[in-house]
Structure 1
């Protein structure tokens, strides 16, 4: 048969290689199969079908859980022990940023690499992720984050909290990684209450910074951008934005991260948790609406998906067929 292969169609559909017969099946990005109209003369054994495929919802949810586990384990772990390691705000921000880069590179092709309920909401509103994926993704992210926090909580040495603060408990120690405002703002703690950030500044900073983060994610995964650079755009922007937010709220921008920390902290963290759901989700909605309004072909994109080739001729494998990333 001919050794020439077809390029992927712009919409992610399927094409047949010359030398094949009619009846090739085109699979659209949404998973709908359609029949191609091309007619070729040749042996049906030589048929090469290019189709767009994506992992199952269960696989994507598992990818989100694992990625969020990685993000929270590294980010919260560095935050938790920063009083002892002197990591400071820069170390914490870089830990979250590096973890996001690593998770996105490793798992972005599976689930899109959200690892954040705010990113998922923004992607849904922008038309980049199906609405039906919203709740499964959120549940997976919450489970992954909670498991990471549980692992960190279980490994706190019993004598450590008392060394850090007189009469401290494991929950007291873990509260240092929780998000908060007013008297629980990191700057308030460091200044002995002389400087505080009340509810309104906390809401405003989380809305604005999350909107910027989600806008970067949506922009970096546009068809007009090169996907290889996207994970670094995510991580660098996340780290930079956290440097702004950490003195004010301890840096959330991610409800899954905030929930994971609050569950194992003192009661005040749970009572203030609503702020770190409401503000990031509002910011994500703003970014999603803006992207949908101004981006070109926003509703046809998906975060970090790939178009895969399904080959029915082993002679082409490795030599003439490649997986082409959707850009």
Structure 2
């Protein structure tokens, strides 16, 4: 099994033709803070476009993808560029991230996402000409059955989120592997995220990211919190599957 650094975008010995990378390592506090900042950027971009810019500009799925891409470029050299709890869990299962980093990373990701949603809620609440803030956030919340765009049932929604999350985590693990060209990793992961969100949009409104789902649900109508469990459970299952498959393939090589 190959032994990689805890944060996948951290530096390794530079080879000819490699993009410049930082050789500095960071403590858990700094890495967790970077995860929170990246999650804040991701959710602010994605939910911000969903609630404030629905009739013009880029599509919300692209805003989420570009937000993740930018966060990986800006903060990935510090923490490894996860920003999504499922990615952190999958990376730990694959043996790429120490288990002691998992809880601090996920807590930071959730706090960053909630802070971004809270900022948007304050901005929206200050404008009396807009609909109620909870109504606007409900547009970006994740749901199934009656709260799916075309009323997909629980089983279909769960399966779709599991498979999409597993694919996203697999792309992250492959794009940030020891022998991969890490300069293109943010583009691979960000564009994959946007593409998979496009598939999930009519099914669950697209999650794969429990932190984003939690942030939207807190400021939405009550149904969003009631259905939030699925958008933690499905990404966890998908992340574990991807991590186990990657680890078994890595051990057999």
- TM-score (normalised: structure 1): 0.69
Structure 1 unmatched runs, 5+: 1-9, 13-28, 31-51, 162-168, 188-195, 299-327
RMSD of Structure 2 on Structure 1 (CA): 1.9
Is 1:292 aligned to residue 247 of structure 2?
yes
Q: 1:60 offset after TM fit, Å?
A: 0.2
The 5 Å alignment of 1:8-87 reads 53-83=24-54, 85-86=55-56
**What are the equivalent positions in structure 2 for 1:179-194 lying under 5 Å apart?**
179-187=142-150
How far apart, in 1, do the equivalents of 2:128 and 2:221 lie? Answer: 17
Q: Which has the higher helix share?
A: 2
Report what 1:266 is aligned to: 221
Instruction: Give 1:109's aligned residue.
Output: 77
Q: What is the TM-score of this pair, normalised by structure 2?
A: 0.88
Count of aligned pairs between the two proteins: 234
Q: Return 151-160 or 123-132, whichever deviates more.
A: 151-160
Contact 1:185 1:249 in 2 (8 A): yes
- Detail structure 1 runs of 4+ shifted over 3 Å in the superposition: none
Q: 2:173 aligns with which of 218, 223, 232?
A: 218
Matching residue within 224, 237, 246 for 1:282: 237
SS at match of 1:183: helix
Match of 1:23 in 2: none
State how far apart, in whole Å, the 2-side matches of 1:86 and 1:179 are.
Answer: 22
> Deviation of residue 86 (structure 1)?
4.4
Deviation at 1:158, TM superposition (A): 2.4
RCO greater where, 1 or 2, for CA within 8 Å and sep 6 or more? 2
Higher-Rg structure is 1
> What do the CA deviations read for 1:17-63 (whole angstroms, capped 9, x no partner)?
xxxxxxxxxxxx57xxxxxxxxxxxxxxxxxxxxx752010000000
CA distance in 2: counterparts of 1:212 and 1:297, whole angstroms: 21
How many angstroms apart in 2 are the aligned matches of 1:174 and 1:96? 15
Q: Is the 8 A contact 1:101 1:232 kept in 2?
A: yes
Deviations 1:97-143 (A, max 9, x none): 11111100110010011000000000000000000001000100010
More strand by share: 1
